[in-house]
Structure 1
Amino acid sequence: MAYKKKISVIAWDPRAGESYKADIAGLFAEEADISVFSVQDGSAAGVLDRADLFVASTDAYGSPEELMRHIPIDSQTMAVEVSFRWSELRKLKELPAGSQVLFVNMTQTMAREAIAQLEQFGITHIHWIPFYPGAPEVPDVHIAVTPDERRYVPPGMKTVIDLGQRVCTSGMMIEIALRLGLESLLERPAFQEYAQSVATSNYSFDQMFARSIRLESQFHILMESLEDGVIGVNEKGEIFACSRHAEEMTCISASLIQGRRCEEVFPYIPFVQCLQTRQTLPAKAIKVNGVNLSVEVVPVIRQSACIGAFALLQRFNDVEVRQNELRSQLFHKGHYAKYSFADVIGQSEAIRKTKETLGRMALSESPVLLIGETGTGKELFAHAIHQASRRAEGPFVAINVAAFPENLLESELFGYEEGAFTGAKRGGRPGLFELAHRGTLFLDEVEGMSPALQIKLLRALQEREVMRVGGNRIILVDVRIVAATNEALEQKVRDGTFRRDLYYRLSTLPALIPPLTKREDDMFLLTEHFRRELGGSFQLSDAVKAFFRGHTWPGNIRELRNAVEYFIYTGHQEIGMEDLPPTLFLSGETGLHPTTSLAPAEADASDSFRFLLSQLYAASETGIPMGRETLLRKAREAHFPLSQREVRDILEDMAAQGLVKVSRGRGGSRLTPKGRTLWENGQR
């Protein structure tokens, strides 16, 4: 059972004493036992029993010195303070202005004190006359007011207003709560109602106290809502606050340390140093009850004076858990792998072996280096590696290294602190290494990284830690690296533009991604996949299929997808040679290699020669000749730069070589067997 405080009320009149007790009990009965002693009935004679607080009326013993002779040494004492209720004062405000009114009480002093108090409350519109036993009678006065002392009211009084016993002031109740350490009671509705019912002239005090209670309540809510442990001391180093989390971390009860010196309770927290230097003491690691804590001490400065300090305590594992939760939130905002090995389209031997090899590599924690031409799908494989790894539930973060200038790339990878550079966001920003914690970081085109950043990346991989730009604290990270390059990194190492130690760190598990030309007929599976994905409806002619097999595809799968999208907008159900985008002829060798005697001298003329030959071949497949105007229109539709004169000159050159037969007028031009053979041989 909880210990109850003991309050002793001392009054002259036992009736008054019982009234004070009733007021106090209405607010403190649950926490305290209340006794009443009266001088008049003799119960207050001699030395009273010990109590936590003695509350005495000023008329009880006559002087403070006399009071001290009746209570134990070192006892807490305070005076009874009384007032009226607002509801009773409203009755007095209704009296006619200028009325003469007796105020009746036990003594002249008590009557005059009450009148003075009433005037403080604004009851000044009537003329007060003090009346008490032995006072001279006042003729022509017909109204009397008394605080529960009707026995002294003159007989024959027409109007008697009994205000009842005066009640204890709200300020007195606050003082009792503070003296006994029961401040929490002040927030209860019963106290708020009591304070509002009792008249007081000290409005500013009431407002300040109410504001103080609100602020204290808000501080308590804030302190308990923080995940860190919080311990507060005042300017003297005395403990006044200890949150629930701090109690759990230090295994110390907050109720037992209130008011005690900080160095006695927490010798391992440098409160005194913080109060003396008035400077924040950065977080340091300490061990308390076998648990590693991070402790930071922050001073509270008010108008250039240090009025206290707060210690912020964190468990190391709590910090990591919190960081992982935040990273998890970012993971769900887009940092996740979208593709698996099932999304890799193809049945060729080359792609099958690649998928099998990378599937085994995915189970390792070592870095993977994907080597392949542009457009071969290196990022898709990076997604798939992450999905097949033990880190699949963690984040997948990708960045194209070559897309960022050096200064921006550093802040993207490693993050930055507030104020690290002009334009830095308030509060700083975590880097991709932090966001990829317990996941995978994909570095595309890693060969584009500057030598300075190569050093920083190497350290991050070796030490598993990073430091933000403009920061001074180490952040531990657990990241698996998948890098990709479309250049020969070995040559860059020999040239000295790529660090050898970083190269060997990244290429622990190298894998070559086959180009489209090495994947046999996978290009047609991919074509069908892209057609369905883009919502198109077409089929490739045999001539186009032959062209596809002979094309070198320097843009690989990305170039193929562009061609499929182009086919959709031709409006043709069957895609013939005339429907091929001109970029296919310009992007690389098609397998068509005219001899020097057959081809024009200039490189651009050679491209034009191949374009017209492809159009004439497509026309020969239908058996319909094609005139210069049609060829010129086809070139314009394909955005191929050819003039009418150039078309005529190339056709004349083809005719001179026996590749084409040019008819006069509207007959058009037909490809000869020699021309067809040239085209078909170029496709094998």
Structure 2
Amino acid sequence: MFIIKKKITVIAWDQVASKFYENQIIDLFGELVVTSAYHVRDGSVQDIADADLYVVSTDAFESMSDLQRYIPQGRPMVEIEVTYTKKAIEVLLELPEGTEALFVNLSEKMVREAITRLSQLGINHIKFTPCYPGCNPPGGFRLAVTPDESRYVPEDVERILNLGQRVLASTTVVEIALRLKFDFLLEREQFRSYFRSIAANNYSFDQLFGRSLRLESQFEILLNIMDDGIIGVDENSYIFACNPKACDIAGITSENIVNQPASEAVPFIPFDECRKSRKKIENRLVRIKGVDINYSISPVIRGSEYMGSFATIQRFTEEESKQHNLRIQLLNKGHKAKYRFEDIIGNSEVIMRSKSIAGKMAKTNSSILITGESGTGKELFAQAIHNSSARKEYPFIAINCAAIPDNLLESELFGYEDGAFTGARKGGKLGLFEFAHKGTIFLDEVEGMSPALQIKLLRVIQEGEVMRIGGNKIITVDVRIVAASNESLDELVASGTFRKDLYYRLNTLPVQLPPLRERGDDIMLLLNVFMKEFGVRFELSPNAEKAFMTHIWNGNIRELRNYVEYLAYLDKNIIDCEDLPQSFHSCISKPSKVLSGTNGSYESELLLRIAGNRLDDYLFVLECLNEAYENHETIGRNSIAERADNIGIYLSQQEIRDILNKLDGLSLIKISKGRGGSKINSKGITVLSDMRTKY
């Protein structure tokens, strides 16, 4: 079996210790690792290399902040725990009760850790006095004990008992093996011999470790998934385990099959196939005694050896089968998102910003609220969000909440049980939230939901649970909700017609789509796209093109497409204003004669069309921005709202935001990010002056 070598970096206080620990790791793990040793004392740790695992002594750094300076955050690390060899402990046990001795090590911290460890190992009959470089130990000691640091023993000490360097404790060795996924090595005699050679303050580590390995090999999966049926076989495919759930599902008894060949006792489970391939077999169906059973088989591999495998089995119930088949049918019936962000046509700054924001939001699982006028492409964005998310392989289901009666909408979304109400389908019906499991559900015109349905929707978002009409069983669903609205939901919240808590749950990630009239040259770009769609080619006269560019477009892209389809049937090469349908002209505010020929008349006319009957609100906002400009100040939405309130004009934060965005789209102002506020520009000042003289 090919195994990639792992890089281990060892860090200790001084060079001797770091090199000693490095050599121990090499002796144990050999050719499977590449090691490097660093020490803090002389500063070599400044040039530390990247590694798969960092092994650090407890005395290397003074604080956690020092440690984090050298080891990348989030990288795996093992803290070195050291102990003594059994031979060293035996030498100390031979000393008489009440012996007094210096204990010599590199630092006070290291001395105290070493003495504490000896006490844990039963060395309590010796009275140790700490000794380390820089201290002033009392004289008169005849004996000094040291873990290979004799160089720091005072010269007047008669006898030095060198215990040798402390070695890696068994817990440290085991943790290194587990972190590197080399746990199969721990069963080798080399490691067992090492564990037997070191002192431990618990009973028979070797027996305890061997027992844990056997339990891990035979019962790891069994302990984790007791709700499923479990059948385990050894390396020869003889059954050694079968829990009651498995007996119940397969109609067998454990007394009759344990210690029997799996090929005879449970021939419907291909353990031999798993043994030969050594690969997991997932989610297969088999029919046993008229019952559909779903099973998976997981092999147990230690090193390169196959040690057996476990099968998990469950009943594939009628309800699960029905849901499975229905979901497949849904996918085949077009409940998939067709569009991606690259299908959204437009090069204007406002649409590119919306695409960028929505693209980033698609990567999350949070709810998204798309707002914008009718016909701006909200469902197109919803489908693109789904196709850019991790849920793209699962269903995308769209439903218009305002187009379906309230009682029918509830049954569509949540489903119902058999006999839940008069006219209910026999056998009940699954709801769209269940169909959309693991996928996305798009709730268009969500403001059309009744207060009762809003409460149920809130529960889906908060708890991930639904309950069918007439049912009493909670059904867990994993659905990402993308909602859309043509109206200002914060105003509906203020009026009490939309729940505030639901609004904030849906509005976790807001996306605002710009109306077509703010998208500039995108109008002509979309016109060309629709001409290709209808297989026609015509040109607009200068007057017709200006009419298109100054049209209000209340119906947005949908309205534009309708007009292109109408013009396609005229079969004309040049389209003039007279060729446009009456509905087009009725939506255009007649240009005011007083505006013609004045400075900024084109922008003024655009503003007049966009503002409509709210022209006073637009002019008020421009006046506020102009006053701030003259005073060399910036002004934000809060200040504008306060000024409006002071003179009896009611403008909500959302309304002011919309007005500012539209003024920005006309290039009359500049909206700054953060707390920079908004500023009027020279074009905006010209238009404001123009409008003042006429209104």
Fold conserved between structures, TM > 0.5: no
Taking structure 2 as the reference length, what is the TM-score of the superposition? 0.41
Larger Rg: 1
Taking structure 1 as the reference length, what is the TM-score of the superposition? 0.42
